Amino acid sequence: MELLKTTNLTMQFGGLVAVNKVSFNLNRAENIGIIGPNGSGKTTFFNLLTGIYEPTGGDIIFEGKKINGSRPDYNYNLGIARTFQNGRLFWKLNVLENVMMGLHTKQKSFLWDAVFRTKKERQEEKEAVESAREILGFFSKKLLEQQDKLASDLSYADRRRLEICRALVSKPKLLILDEPSAGMDPNETLELVEDIKKIRKIEEDISIIVIEHDMGLIEGLADRVICFSSGDKIAEGSFNEVSKDKEVIRAYLGE
């Protein structure tokens, strides 16, 4: 059942301990919400899981295998996909092409060298187009209808959705979402929660970790919530338990 585990995971930048001995486990088909005030170590924790940083202490175990310090593309091929807080789309590519880019480390670079493509590469491209359309149609019909539009011409909320589609096309075992509703209005956030909930209908075993400041999104999505403060994991439990935890309230109010 267990997909991911960290034991005493630590990241120190010079004298600053951004993540301090965090032990945590994640089961298959489980959604975890990570909350905590700004600067509490949430993003650093994500960067450790995805291989952007090599931990200065502790271990990361994915499907029983230690992945400390392995590169992001290696982790991606293992099945760990993420979105970024500030969005990282290819503005001059259209919606469909952006989703296909999510397959680029798994397949050959089908968007380039059109003239010199082999038959196998043409077949791969056809399959990539099909996978991308399938994900778009499933996750957001509205996005599929805009498949030929440049990413730069999408509404803000659709850009954020497109990022999730690009991560999903690789069929990850673990999807990591970094503040997916940042910048969205309350209605857009509600729609997004429903879209994210649908993911389990096509990928029933997928596990999701989400960092969010929007407590409505966390409450709507997370089976379990973890709160960070100054690099420490200070609370873990259901949304109700964590939101009533005295240490959590203190961390947010800065008392």
6 part of the interface to ligand ADP, by CB under 6 A:
no
Size of the site for ligand ADP (CB under 6 A): 11
Tell me how far apart the alpha carbons of residues 62 and 24 are, in angstroms, rounded to a whole number.
12
Question: Amino acid identity of 235?
Answer: A
Which one among 10, 27, 29, 39 touches ligand ADP, defined by CB under 6 A?
39
Tell me how far apart the alpha carbons of residues 99 and 187 are, in angstroms, rounded to a whole number.
25
Q: Which is nearer to ligand ADP, 34 or 67 (CB)?
A: 34
Minimum Å gap between C-beta 171 and ligand ADP is: 27
- Smallest CA-to-CA distance from 7 within 88, 66, 83 is with 66
Collapsed DSSP state (helix, strand, coil) of residue 233: strand
- Please state whether 9 falls in left (phi above 0), alpha (psi between -120 and 50) or beta: beta
- Smallest CA-to-CA distance from 42 within 195, 170, 188, 210 is with 210
Which one among 33, 36, 172, 220 touches ligand ADP, defined by CB under 6 A?
36
Residue located via tokens 């493509």 = 117
State which H helix or E strand residue 251 sits in.
helix 246-253
Q: Which is nearer to ligand ADP, 39 or 79 (CB)?
A: 39
Tell me how far apart the alpha carbons of residues 7 and 175 are, in angstroms, rounded to a whole number.
20
Q: Which is nearer to ligand ADP, 40 or 243 (CB)?
A: 40
Minimum Å gap between C-beta 187 and ligand ADP is: 26
180 part of the interface to ligand ADP, by CB under 6 A:
no
42 part of the interface to ligand ADP, by CB under 6 A:
yes
57 part of the interface to ligand ADP, by CB under 6 A:
no
Which among 31-39, 64-72, 90-98, 215-223 is the span making contact with ligand ADP, rule CB under 6 A? 31-39
16 part of the interface to ligand ADP, by CB under 6 A:
yes
> Which pair of structure tokens corresponds to residue 194?
């429903």
Q: Which is nearer to ligand ADP, 16 or 202 (CB)?
A: 16
Q: Which is nearer to ligand ADP, 151 or 177 (CB)?
A: 177
9 part of the interface to ligand ADP, by CB under 6 A:
no
55 part of the interface to ligand ADP, by CB under 6 A:
no
Which one among 6, 20, 31, 43 touches ligand ADP, defined by CB under 6 A?
43
In sign, the C-alpha dihedral spanning 202, 208, 212, 218 is positive
Tell me how far apart the alpha carbons of residues 55 and 64 are, in angstroms, rounded to a whole number.
18
The residue ranges that bind ligand ADP (CB under 6 A) are 13, 16, 18, 36, 38-44
